Amino acid sequence: MLIAAAGGIVFDEHRRLLLVLRSLPPAALTWSVPGGKCEPGESPAAACVREVGEETGLAVEVIRWAGRVHRPAPGGSQFVIDDFLCGVVGGTLRAGDDAAEAGWFDLAAMTGLPLAAGLLEALTDWDLLPA
């Protein structure tokens, strides 16, 4: 079964990337871009905006679609994740929902973290690495 999901690729003014530490499976205890499953009838872009807000406290707007990845899901299913480049339009950064922590990371700091599988490769392929 395919499960639609979305993620937000968000940079600050120093081109640091917004990452969250996942507290729940899948990918628990790894850092990734904020995101999650689409609700019934919800577009991936709308899910991206909602999930970024829930997990980070930041209001964002979608700038453009960045790419799609496929990741294993529980029970032999598969997540089909559409990622979007987003810009911050409001809010205050704080970890929320299923994010244990949230923060801005440059490439050096990011590569020292336990990252979600395939994150660095996808960002590299899409030319969306932080500074």
Cis upstream peptide for 130 (omega within 30°): no
> What pairing do the DSSP bridges indicate for beta strands 58-72 and 2-10?
unpaired
Say which of 39, 61, 101, 121 is annotated catalytic.
101
pTM: 0.95
pLDDT tens per residue across span 48-97: 999 999 999 999 999 999 999 999 988 899 999 999 999 999 999 999 98
Residue 55 falls in the annotated catalytic set: no
pLDDT tens per residue across span 83-131: 999 999 999 999 998 899 999 999 999 989 999 999 999 999 999 999 9
What's the CATH fold of domain 2-110? Nucleoside Triphosphate Pyrophosphohydrolase (3.90.79)
Q: How much is the pLDDT for 97?
A: 84
| Domain residue limits, the chain | 2-110
